[in-house]
């Protein structure tokens, strides 16, 4: 950790509001935050930022000089190397996504087998057409599946997962391991206040990509927690009230080649505000 990173985290811990009871959330970093780097570098930077957990994403080049990409196709040897790299950096892989899930159980099963072998507990997807298969896999492997939301697409009325009411309609009658991956930044970009969406999905959130944006618009960009308009304190209090223990991943999509201090600040804010489970 650099001196600047340490100072930012310290300031965040000092300024963030305090809360006594632990929320139980699993504080993480979405590796997409470091998409300009290899997965190996992203893992090291996640540890430097102060996280103990990481959410991996599909297709990230594993390491410099390699054409192997993170995912179930990376093979046993590379997966073993990935597991060792996580261990050396004191990290656990807690989620994976956003990834597609095949409708055919035989094609979907390798994804869940691979994720389970790494100790991953949640797979995040937008494959609502494969929810019957996803539900069967969730039961078979005792894992959770979160329906993720990207921003509303004005030119694509068939893209509906931006709407929390639609997501609820897809998960409410399914196994409790099927729920929402709440991307708070993309809700803002869709014109939805995160707390309104979370209230709609109450009890059915299984994971979160936590973002604070600088403005309430489609053009909003990420800023350190507590400095934007997403109302991060209310979101954290909501998770606390729900006794939510799933992964809450810092996903920072701004200043992406130099964002380590901001990511560290976000982690510091959450740790100062509440006490993550791990």
Q: How many CB atoms lie within 10 A of CB 220?
A: 20
E strand or H helix that includes residue 93 = strand 92-96
pLDDT the model gives residue 18: 36
Looking at every residue in the chain, the average pLDDT score rounds to 92
pLDDT the model gives residue 4: 38
Asked which of 10-14, 76-80, 142-146 is least confident by mean pLDDT, the reply is: 10-14
| pLDDT confidence tier of residue 10, bands split at 50, 70 and 90 | very low
pTM above threshold 0.85: yes
Neighbouring residues of 112: CB distance < 8 A, sequence distance ≥ 6: 123, 137, 140, 141, 143
Query: pLDDT digit string (tens) for 53-65?
Result: 999 999 999 999 9
pLDDT the model gives residue 271: 93
At residue 70, φ and ψ (nearest 5 deg) are -65, 130
Domains of the chain: 3-273 (3.20.20.150)
| Averaged pLDDT for residues 7-12 | 40
Query: pLDDT digit string (tens) for 190-223?
Result: 999 999 999 999 999 999 999 999 999 999 999 9
């Amino acid at each position: 950790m650099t001196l600047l990173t340490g100072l930012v985290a310290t300031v965040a811990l000092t300024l963030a509001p305090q809360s006594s009871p632990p929320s139980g959330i699993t504080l993480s970093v979405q590796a997409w935050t470091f998409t300009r780097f290899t997965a190996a570098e992203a893992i090291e930077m996640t540890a430097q930022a102060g996280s103990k957990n990481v959410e991996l994403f599909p297709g990230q080049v594993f390491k410099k000089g390699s054409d192997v990409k993170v995912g179930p196709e990376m093979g046993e040897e590379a997966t073993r190397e990935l597991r060792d790299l996580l261990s050396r950096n004191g990290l656990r892989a807690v989620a994976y996504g956003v990834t597609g899930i095949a409708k055919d159980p035989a094609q979907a099963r390798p994804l869940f087998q691979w994720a389970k072998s790494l100790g991953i507990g949640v797979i995040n997807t937008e494959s609502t057409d494969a929810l019957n298969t996803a539900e069967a896999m969730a039961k078979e492997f005792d894992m959770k599946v979160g329906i993720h939301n990207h921003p509303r697409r004005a030119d694509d009325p068939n893209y509906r997962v931006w709407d929390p009411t639609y997501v609820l309609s897809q998960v409410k009658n399914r196994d409790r391991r099927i729920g929402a991956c709440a991307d708070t930044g993309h809700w803002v970009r869709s014109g939805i206040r995160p707390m309104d969406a979370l209230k709609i999905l109450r009890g059915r959130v299984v994971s979160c990509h936590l973002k604070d944006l600088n403005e309430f618009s489609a053009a909003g960009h990420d800023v350190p927690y507590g400095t934007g308009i997403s109302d991060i304190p209310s979101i954290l209090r909501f998770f606390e009230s729900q006794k939510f223990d799933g992964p809450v991943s810092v996903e920072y999509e701004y200043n992406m080649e130099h964002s380590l201090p901001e990511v560290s600040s976000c982690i510091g804010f959450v740790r100062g505000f509440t006490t993550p489970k791990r």
